[in-house]
A and B are shown apart, each in its own frame.
Chain A
């Protein structure tokens, strides 16, 4: 009975957010386009033959960057910006009264947005293959499944990190600047701009202990068929989720105790 109710909640939330997102198709298409930086990077890599030094062929590198694009598309998180706006506008108060953690609402929003974004990402990939026909490949089903799982885990890690930052809104009014700060290491260390294999040795020694390479580099390597440690990567992702989730719960309960509605 209870699980039925939860199912019902999840489906309703997703439906509402999906129809909401469908209203903003152009927005989401533009957003998908704004994620094409990996392709510019690929262009620099192959045009200057930089990949020879890291022993990845042109084809494998182009697959890597295409996958990095895909992983990024389906792990973009903006919960901190929504939450900041809602908290400044005083919308958080009614959400808190509801018997549902407001972060479920944001979570559904992100999932719905990913579903809306999917066709646009496919179109961009289609154009990519027109320009680079030699890089077409079909990953086998097992790998495809594992990379979808790891992309989702990467999304979860980022969602948790951003939710923790978003909870800082209870203490400071502008938590989004902290998110912008955290975005910088995410951008440069996650493998969106350059595969982690190409990093200098002094970075490679410690980077695998941080969550960053598991955000884009690991799922992209997995999907594109480049060499990677599958079980190690997945377990690190799960480990990070287990580390971050209690932290989020803690900060959420502290924050809601601290929360006073605007104007009080």
Chain B
């Protein structure tokens, strides 16, 4: 019953945000070109790395493309859901409109995480999938049921981790009010998710798997694609994702205790 209510509310969210975003049609076109150029740019950069080397961090060019594909999908998801919503938190808190969200008979985290939607991110997700299909062809990956389930599990875990990271930073807005630039820092760190983790030096690898688990986000799903991943890594990713989700939820509820509305 409760779930049905949330689904119904989400449908309304979709409807309103699509209607408002489609007002800016040329904007969507420009965003599409941006997404395509950005993918071309990253493949270009990758090709520079590979022009005189067969391997980078033990990955061939065709294999590294898988990482690009997964990164593009995740980036599309970020641009569709996380970015428009979680930057809105900053506005809610600065202007005190979070009051209205809290008063609604609906979960506040659900409301602020899913209220808005940016349809141009869909195109990026599609581009990512095209690239992945292409990679499956050129790497001659055997598509079977266990492969599909495992990649689905790992990619959803990546989405959860990514969401939690964004949500963590946005939550800190309650204390710091302006967190725009903290989000920029996160974005620049996420940038390294475009490359295989093994291509970095040991200390950076540790940093990006222990402190900010960006390593998990793209590398593990790509390893699953190549059939290289050990079971413990997948399990670890599931555990990390659960821990992140639960703690981001707890952190939000904790932070709300300190929320005192604007100008009070």
Contact = CB atoms under 8 A, between A and B. Distances in A.
Interface of A: 24, 26-28, 30-31, 33-37, 40, 43-44, 47-50, 52-53, 172-174, 177-178, 180-181, 184-185, 187-188, 193-194, 198-200, 203
Contacts of A36: 188
Contacts of A188: 41-42, 44-45
Contact of A34 (B26, B187, B200): B187
Contact of A27 (B49, B178, B192): B178
Interface centre among B30, B195, B199 (most CB of A within 10 A): B30
Interface residues of B, number: 37
A113 B51 CA distance: 39
Given A43-B204, A199-B48, A48 B53 contact: yes
Given A27-B180, A31-B181, A47-B201, A180 B52 contact: no
B251 interface: no
Contacts of B253: none
Given A27-B181, A44-B199, A200-B51, 19 more contacts: A30-B181, A30-B182, A31-B184, A36-B188, A40-B191, A43-B201, A44-B195, A44-B200, A48-B53, A50-B52, A50-B53, A50-B56, A173-B24, A181-B34, A181-B37, A184-B41, A188-B44, A194-B45, A199-B48
Contacts of B41: 184-185, 187-188
B27 A37 contact: no
Interface string B1-40: 0000000000000000000000010110011011001100
A193 B51 contact: no
Given A34-B188, A177-B31, A184-B37, A50 B44 contact: no
Q: Which A-B residue pairs are the 8 nearest by beta carbons?
A: A53-B52, A188-B41, A30-B181, A34-B184, A34-B188, A184-B37, A34-B185, A181-B34
Contacts of B34: 177, 180-181, 184
B57 interface: yes
Main secondary structure of the interface of B (DSSP, over half): helix
Nearest to A183: B34
Contacts of A200: 47-48, 51
A185 B27 contact: no
A4 to B, nearest CB: 38
Contacts of A173: 24
B185 A30 contact: yes
Contacts of A34: 181, 184-185, 187-188
Nearest to B35: A184
B49 A53 contact: no
B226 to A, nearest CB: 19
Interface string B228-258: 0000000000000000000000000000000
Nearest to A186: B41
B185 A181 contact: no
B197 to A, nearest CB: 11
Contact of B185 (A33, A40, A193): A33
B49 A48 contact: yes
Contacts of A48: 49, 53, 56-57, 199
Contacts of A28: 181
Contacts of A26: 176
Nearest to A193: B45
A94 B56 CA distance: 56
A88 to B, nearest CB: 12
Contacts of B191: 37, 40
A47 B200 contact: yes
Nearest to B36: A184
Nearest to B44: A188
A27 B199 CA distance: 31
B188 A35 contact: yes
Given A181-B30, A181-B33, A188-B44, A50 B188 contact: no
Nearest to A44: B199
A177 B84 CA distance: 14
Contacts of B48: 194, 198-200
Contacts of B24: 173-174
A173 B38 CA distance: 23
A200 B43 CA distance: 13
B118 to A, nearest CB: 11
